[in-house]
Structure 1
Amino acid sequence: MRTKFHDQLDTLFDQLTTMCQLAGDAVTTATDALDAADLTHAEKVFAVTERIGALRGPCEDQAMALLALQAPVARDLRQVVTGVFLVSDLSRMGGLAEHIAESVRRRHPHPVAHGQTQHLLVQMGRLAGELATAAALVLQTRDPALALALDVTDNRLDDLHRDLLTVIQEPAWDGSTTEAVDATLLGRFYERFGDHCVEVGRRVIFLATGQQLPQ
C-alpha cells in the first residue's frame, strides 16, 4: 500500500514539475514578445498556459484521491498537502505570464516599453525564466538546498524591480503616463512570478524538513 502511495505521489510531483516547466516557457515567451513587440510570441503564451490549466484539474484530483483513499499521516500527509498548495502557486505563475503577454497584445503594433525600461523588464523576464527552471529542478529532486538557492536569484530580480521603479520616477524619464503604468504593472508581474518560484522552494523545504520558513 505504501509503495502504491509513493508511486502516486511521484506521479503528482512529475505533473507539478511539468506545470513549472511550462510556466517557465510561458514567461520566457512572453518576455520575447515584450522585447520584440511580437504578437506571434504573445499568442503562443496563451497556448502554453492552456496546457498548465489542463494539468491543474488532474493534479488536484490526484492529491484529493491520495488524501481520501490512502489516509496519509505525518510526512506523507505533509507531502500531499504541499502538493495541493503547489498547484495554486504554479497556476498563478502561468496567469502572470498571461498578463505580460496580454500587455504586449494590447499595445501591438507599438512596443509596450522602450529604452531603459524595456531593457530592465527584459532582464527581469530572463531571470524569471531562470527561476522557473530552477524551481522545476527543486520539484523534481525535492532538495532543500536547491530550494534555498532560489532566494539568491529572486533577490537579483527584486533589485531590477527597484531599478525599474527608480527609472520611471526620474524627472528625466521621457515616457508617457500610459508607459509608466504599463512598466509598473509589468514589473509587478515579474516580481510576483519570482515570489511564487521562491514559494515553491519554501513549500519543498517544508515538505522535506517540516520547517516553515518565514516569508
Structure 2
Amino acid sequence: MESAKPKCSGKRSNGEPCTKWPMKGQRVCNTHGGSSPQAKAAAERRLRTANAEQAVVTFGLPREVDPRDALLEEVYRAAGVVDFLRDQVQKLTADEVVWGKAEEVEKQAGEFPGIDVTHKASVNVWVELYARERKHLVDVCKAAIQAGIEERKVRVAEQQGALLAGVIKAILGDLDLTPEQAARVPEVVPRHLRAVA
C-alpha cells in the first residue's frame, strides 16, 4: 500500500523530483537541506504546532466553568461512555469475554516467516473498560450528590418557578380581568403550566 506522505520537495541534479522521504517534520530530505539548522528549527516549529493542534482536537481548549456544572457534565459524559461500552460488551460472545488474542508478532526472517498469534484466557478489553467506566460513573455521581448538585437543581427550579409565577401575576394584573375571569385563574393557569412541565 503506497503511503500518502509526500516525497522530498527537492529536485535531483537532472531536474527530476527527488524520490527520498523528507526528514521528520520537514518537506525535504537530508540531501536537500534537511540537516541545516534553519530546516531543523522550522521542522521543530511545525511538529510543535501539529502536536498542539492534535491536543486541542483530543482534549479541547481551556474554558471557564463552574465546578458544579463541570461535575454534572462529567456525570452525563460518563453515562454516555458507559452506554457505548455496554453496547460493545453485549456484542461479545461468551468465549470472547474471557478468551482472546493476547499478542500478534510479525516475523520477517527465519524458517517460518509470517504472523504468530498467541491466545490466552483473560478478560476482554471491552469488559475491562466497561467495568472501569461504570466505577467512574458511580464515583462522579457520588461526588455530584456530595456537592449538592441535586439540591442546586431543585433550588434553580424553585427560582424559575417563582420567577414564572411573578410574571404570570404581573400579566394577569395588567389584563384587568373581570371577577369571573379572576376566579378561573387558579384553575386555568396551573392546568396550562402542568401541560408544559
Q: Shared topology, TM-score over 0.5? A: no
**Which has more radius of gyration?**
2
Structure holding more helix per residue? 1
Structure holding more strand per residue? 2
